[in-house]
Amino acid sequence: MVGMHPDTQLLIDVCAIDSIWGNERMLAEHLAGELRAWGLNDVVLVESLPGRPSVGARLRGAGGGRSLVLNGHLDIYELSEDWTRDPFAPSLEAGRVYGAGVADMKAGTAAALAALRRTARRAAAGQGLRGDVVFQGVSCHFEGGVGTRSLCEAGFVADAAIGCEPSSNTIGIAHRGAAYLKITTRGRQAHTTYKELGLNAIETMEPILAGLRALEAELPYTPHDLLPGGPILNIGTISGGTKHNQVPDRCTITLDIRLLPGQDAHDVKARVEQMIADLVRDVDARIDAVVEFSEHWLSGPRHAYEIDAGEAIVQVVDRAVRTVTGATPPYQGVPFWCDLVTLREFGVPGVNFGPGDPPYNFPDEYVVEAQFLQAVDVYETAILDWCG
């Protein structure tokens, strides 16, 4: 587009490539080509899961400086049917960039890339840094940090990290954890005409659904200054039965329960199991239910995260925001789960800062261009401070 900022054009290019959950390869390969063209070192595609590569890259410093990871995920959520525009024909209109997954989190990932491109050009002009800058463009984020873990195992680690998840360009030093549960009720199949000989698993799920809605307000927690409210319980999917004229012998629901620091997913699972046991005793003795962690939780348990505001990497981002905006940066908790937990498993402390506003995934998704460009400036400033 004529007159478009080059960093915005980079974001448009990233959004134009379909990388819906499980389909990250094309974007990963495209970014690897771009990173090589910019002169980065050690550009590698790592198969995080079969057919789902992540891309790691390193801009080597001269030595003697601190190294920094910029982390962003490539996978985006499935799209709502309510889009009124082509989600993979991104555009800039009235100061907004529209496109699939732009808020969660292609804007953050592209902003990291843009800052890295600026840094690489500076290095090519003889103004290199002492420390390394590492880019992690990860697949399999929704499996619980599988992509980040695979890149860390491949050696793409550093002394600290900035996670680029959407936080409306606020500094995130805490985020929620999650418990992903699957509940299955077991019944007995029969034809409708002999309904009394069967056991309807959908009907025995009904009191469990009501019990879960009540349980959300009953889960114990310690209030957190940056993460307002208690745990959040969402019943995300439900399935059961085979045909309209068959009594269903199975019904399954999946839950997403967002937790605060100090809450334990195993304890929450136990409380769900106790709630169901109480229903069997007091409401319907026919309930036969199994509670399990879902495969998306088991692939990378989503623990809550906190880092002290006085940590060096937090203060570097704080200074970067002050330098770019001239204002005191706000600190907020991130309401969702981030890969900062996985990075910390490898000894890399991290802080979150990224463009994109709630509700993050929505029809005709967009980010404000000025917010995106501000994030690029903040990342670049933080790189110079930390790695310089």
Encode pLDDT of 285-338 as tens digits.
999 999 999 998 999 989 999 999 999 999 999 999 999 999 999 999 999 999
Q: What is the pLDDT of residue 261?
A: 95
At 73, the amino acid letter reads H
Domains of the chain with CATH codes: 6-175+304-387 (3.40.630.10), 177-298 (3.30.70.360)
**Angstrom distance (rounded) from CA 114 to CA 313:** 20
Please compute the mean of the pLDDT values over residues 186-194 and round it to a whole number: 97
State percent of the chain over pLDDT 70. Answer: 99
Is the predicted pLDDT of residue 2 greater than 80, yes or no?
A: no
Q: What is the pLDDT of residue 75?
A: 98
Indicate the pLDDT class of residue 181, thresholds 50, 70 and 90: very high
Please compute the mean of the pLDDT values over residues 8-33 and round it to a whole number: 98
Please compute the mean of the pLDDT values over residues 38-61 and round it to a whole number: 97
pTM: 0.92
pLDDT in tens, 92-103: 999 999 999 999
> What is the 3-state secondary structure of the chain?
CCCCCHHHHHHHHHHCCCCECCCCHHHHHHHHHHHHHCCCEEEEEEEEECCEEEEEEEECCCCCCCCEEEEEECCECCCCCCCCCCCCCCEEECCEEECCCHHHHHHHHHHHHHHHHHHHHHHHCCCCCCCCEEEEEECCHHHCCHHHHHHHHCCCCCCEEEECCCCCCCEEEEECEEEEEEEEEECECEEHHHHHHCECHHHHHHHHHHHHHHHHCCCCCCCECCECCCCEEEEEEEEECCCCCEECCEEEEEEEEEECCCCCHHHHHHHHHHHHHHHHHHCCCCCCEEEEECHHHHCCCCCCEECCCCCHHHHHHHHHHHHHHCCCCCEEEECCCCCHHHHHHCCCCEEECCCCCCCCCCCCCEEEHHHHHHHHHHHHHHHHHHHC
Indicate the pLDDT class of residue 1, thresholds 50, 70 and 90: low
Q: What is the pLDDT of residue 3?
A: 82
State percent of the chain over pLDDT 90. Answer: 98
Please compute the mean of the pLDDT values over residues 4-9 and round it to a whole number: 97
Please compute the mean of the pLDDT values over residues 10-25 and round it to a whole number: 98
pLDDT in tens, 226-269: 999 999 999 999 999 999 999 999 999 999 999 999 999 999 99
